[in-house]
Amino acid sequence: MQDAELLVALAGIAGVFVGFGALISTTRGGVSEGFELVYIRGIMSWGLVVIVAALVPVVISRYGIAGHELWLLSSLVFLLLVCFMSVVSSRTSEHNALLAAQWRASRMRFARFAVPPLLLEVSLLIALVLVVLGPVTDFEPALYITAVVLLLFEDALYLAQLVYSQGPPTA
95-123: pLDDT as tens digits: 556 655 555 554 444 445 555 777 888 99
Question: How confident is the model over 137-152, as a mean pLDDT?
Answer: 93
Is the pLDDT at 46 greater than 70? The verdict is yes
At 101 the pLDDT is 57
50-99: pLDDT as tens digits: 999 999 999 999 999 999 999 999 999 999 999 998 888 776 666 556 65
Q: Which of 138, 142, 117 is nearest to 43 (CA)?
A: 117
* Cα atoms in the 13 Å half-sphere on the side-chain side of 12: 6
Alpha carbons 91 and 84: distance in angstroms, whole number: 11
For 4, phi and psi rounded to 5 degrees? -60, -45
Question: Among 1-10, 67-76, 161-170, whose mean pLDDT is lowest?
Answer: 161-170
At 35 the pLDDT is 66
CA 19 to chain centre: 14
Alpha carbons 7 and 56: distance in angstroms, whole number: 9
Q: Which of 41, 39, 33 is nearest to 160 (CA)?
A: 39
At 108 the pLDDT is 47
Alpha carbons 137 and 141: distance in angstroms, whole number: 8
* Residue 162 burial (C-beta neighbours within 10 Å; 0-12, 13-18, 19+): buried
Break the chain into its structural domains and give their ranges: 4-164
Alpha carbons 69 and 108: distance in angstroms, whole number: 43
**Helix extents (H) in the chain:** 4-27, 34-61, 67-90, 93-105, 107-133, 140-164
User: The whole model's pTM is what?
Assistant: 0.80
